Structure 1
Amino acid sequence: MDRSVRDGGTVGGVDRVRYVDFLRGAAIVMVVLGHWVITALVRHPDGTIAAPELLATVEWTQWLTLLFQIMPVFFLAGGHVAAGSWRRHREGGGGAAGWVRARAVRLLLPTAAYVGIAVPCLAAGRTAGADPGLLGMVGWALAMQFWFLPVYLVVSALTPWLYAAYRRWGLASTAALAGLSLVADLVDLADRGSPVGAAGYVLVWAVAYQLGFGWEDGRLPGRRPLLWAVAGGGAAAFAGLVAFGPYPVSLIRVSTEELSNTDPPSPAMLAWVLAQCALCLLAAPAMERALRAEWLWRLVRPLGRVSMTLYLWHMVPVLAAAAAFYLTDLAPEPVVGSGAWWAWRPVWIAVLTLFLLGLLVALRPVERGLLRVGGAVRPQAEVRQPYSVLAGLAGLAAAVWTLTVWAGEGLARTDAPAGWTVAGFAAGTALVLLPPPRAVVAPEASEAG
């Protein structure tokens, strides 16, 4: 394999890098659009606003999740980027602790800024006497996307070991992860809520992540018969598990379904992960050629700069539109799921897009501040002292735990954020961001006359 041409450490050069960036940007955009499409708001006669669960009230919409659930793509692209980054770091003499901290900083810093703005706003609403039920709904909307963050933080932290397993056993290690996820699901079916079942959150998404390793080192792109078999087999397995097994068609959680394909990820989700990742790899040659067009690349490139902002903040425009058009009774309110309601969806998406563009402009000072803080915490610094390693691990664990709680309960389950979760996240993030001590080099002893 020719490794002489690399861009950003990626085998395959500029074309590959552009396609990876396209996949990450496209995944974020589809998540945003998916959340916007399925968000339904209803204003009651007493002036209160409710958000009925579209996937539960209009059951056929569960099929839409097959279009909008493309987080496997993000993990695939993330694994591709992580493989090159970790290999370069290791070849430069760096250790695992420093690399893991750098990756965690990139996620936790913008998340801390988001939480640091959202939590005081919710607390102010409580002080002002806002309806507790409304605050709970707002807190849930502000944290619904958090499920991704703890999973990605854990998978990123495991990268050195996942990569070592891949380098030693190749795709057999990926198959082992898939097999372990099936065992975890069997345990979960027998004992709902089992810690063993919860391992599926890491195992299933780590499959997509490790497939990114195989993409980055060139093992997978040339094996098109295998990719076609994985794509077809994954799609067939998904169809069979939905049609004849206990799993629902929806690829996000639906409150009326006893089982979920994402909570924790099920064998049906695993099948979808395999099919989707294989299709992305099969499409790579054509997409890499298409992205050579500079006009297309100029449309894709900005998404990389704002992808984390889009992901974290994309439900704020929904809340703004609710206040501007529903609380004021200006929004048309056809029956949710009716033809008229769907006819208004493009207008709804357009309004939210305008709100989001304005929000991105308003957040520019915040992003500039994050860049300054990001430089000050020295994310590329090596972490070698045992106490620094332990502090970083403790901080990462605290951040993962609180983000998991918020993903399940929202930032304000009833009326305001729980103080212990805010304190836990603040302390955990601070421990991760705390720069390690600079290396001290002892002066050389002067030679005797």
Structure 2
Amino acid sequence: MTRNRYVDLLRVLAIGGVVYGHWLLVSVIYQGGQLSGADAVDYVEWGRWVTWAFQVMPVFFLVGGYVNSLSWEAHRARGQSWTWWVRERAVRLLWPTAVYLVFALIAVSIARLAGVPRSELAEVGWLAALHLWFLPVYMLVIALTPAMTAAHRRWGLAVPLVMAAGAALVDVGIHGFHLHLLGYANYLLVWGAIHQWGFAWRDGRLTSPRWHLWVMSGAGAVLLAAFVVTRAFQVDMVGSGNTNPPSIALLAFAAAQTGLVIVAEPWVTGLLATPKRWRLVHRLNSLVMNVYLWHFVPVVVVALAFYTTGVIAQPGIGSGEWFVLRLVWFALLTAVFVPLVALVTWAEQPMRRLPAGQGRSGSWSSPLLLLGLFASSEGLARLAISGFAPDGRWPTAALAGFVIGMAAIFFAGSTPSESSLLTAESVS
């Protein structure tokens, strides 16, 4: 497969937006001898508009659609099955995640032995796990990629249009009839629609003619403006307002963003023709999964080191001094994070020699894989909601689901042509 350099750059830029967005908007507070987290947007009213600059998760799903479509069709052309392809991609996500979970649980155990109050442990454990929501959603769209690729070949852009209409109906059910459980459907409908746009980008349906992109971006902007002006939806694009669950307003925002992102492709691709620049992007792209998983760890480390000792002041959130100290905060977090990612990446090397699966594929492989995907996704979703230490203790049910799911995926079987589990890049 020929790599699209611009796609790799987008992934790198998006992870940068996630990391620094979280570091800016999630403010750690040390008060009364305990650490807790606060959303800076709750203290700075105009900060809700700033969230538009940091909402880059649509870019991840757009890029994911592009890459997953390309990868699946290449594997399909070689005669490889849905089971093999989905398992391979799920394993790339789950093994690095397992390493992070083990670290987090060891940290929880040490904190309990050190006498950290349960309430503080629960708060910090939640902070360290909240970003895991992405993994079960992304594994779902991966599992559906073969079917959704077939739907795209037949119906094209009608597929995400229907999904958008479904998302709008879900929002009506939530806001008009208080059917809040319907919101879970929008995790698939909204993020799945953006993933479908990635298919259309790759095969040219979204870019030929180019004015399609301007129409898409303009329509998304107009819809988003209408939603905001009429107060049908909140302004903020990060946090619970439009992302938990995802809303049609988020999809409108994503449409405006997607059109502009793809319009820029020809110009930016030219800049990546330089071998030195491309090598840098390629290297950073290989670190994206670890950067995503571990980027909250420096927040806890720096807060413990500098807030509890009083080395760094804690001005009121949103004050002038607070914004100035954000620059110091960014510098400290980056100084901790760079060697942390390097260490994790180095420690991960032995995993690259492990097999991707155990045993030969058989009639039981697909059901076992589905069980594994469900169990591991359910476990990760529980962790994202409750954290690593609800009530100050290990989340046993969530961990059991994750472990059972990983085991089922691993034992779903392998084929003679399979490589080791991490020979390819973690999120290619």
TM-score, normalised via structure 1 length: 0.89
Aligned to 1:332: 313
Kept in 2: contact 1:133–1:414 (CA 8 A): yes
Task: Provide closer, same or farther for how the CA distance between residues 438 and 207 of structure 1 changes in structure 2, counting only shifts above 3 A.
Answer: closer
Aligned equivalents of 2:318 and 2:113: distance in 1? 36
Aligned-CA RMSD value:
1.8
| C-alpha contact 1:184 1:198 (8 A) present in aligned 2 | no
Q: CA deviation at 1:219?
A: 2.3
| In structure 2, distance between residues paired with 1:193 and 1:408 | 20
Partner of 1:352: 333
Per the alignment, residue 84 of structure 2 pairs with 98
**Does residue 108 of structure 2 align to residue 127 of structure 1?**
no
Q: Which amino acid aligns with 2:297?
A: V
Among residues 349, 358, 367, which one is paired with 1:368 in the alignment? 349
The alpha carbon displacement at 1:354 in A equals 0.6
> What are the ranges of 5 or more consecutive residues in structure 1 without an aligned counterpart?
1-7, 255-259, 440-449
**By how many angstroms is 1:191 displaced?**
4.4
> What is the alpha-carbon distance in structure 2 between the residues aligned to residue 137 and residue 64 of structure 1?
25
1:28 aligns with 15
Q: Summarize the alignment of residues 33-432 of structure 1 with structure 2, pairs less than 5 Å apart.
A: 33-44=20-31, 46-192=32-178, 194-254=180-240, 260-373=241-354, 376-378=355-357, 383=361, 385-432=362-409
Structure 1 residues 86, 66: CA separation in 2 closer, same or farther (over 3 Å shift)?
A: same
Q: Residues 382, 337 of structure 1: CA spacing in aligned structure 2 closer, same or farther, 3 A cutoff?
A: farther
With structure 2 as the length reference, what TM-score do the two structures score? 0.93
**Number of paired residues?**
416
CA distance in 1, matches of 2:406, 2:110: 23
Whichever residue aligns with residue 159 of structure 2, its letter is S
Q: 1:377 aligns to what SS in structure 2? A: coil
Query: Residues of 2 paired with 1:122 and 1:344: CA distance?
Result: 29
Moved more, 420-429 or 66-75: 420-429
Partner Cα separation in structure 1 for residue 406 and residue 233 of structure 2:
37
CA pair 386-127 structure 1, distance change in 2 beyond 3 A? farther
Give distance in 1, aligned partners of 2:228 and 2:387: 29
**Separation in 1 of the partners of 2:339 and 2:373?**
33
- The reply to whether residue 18 of structure 1 matches residue 10 of structure 2 is no
Gaps of 5+ in 2: 417-428
Q: In the TM superposition, what whole-angstrom CA distance separates every residue of 1:373-401 from its partner, at most 9, and x where no partner exists? A: 3xx1249x984x23221111111101111
| More off after superposition, 154-163 vs 329-338 | 329-338
Equivalent pairs: percent with the same residue? 39
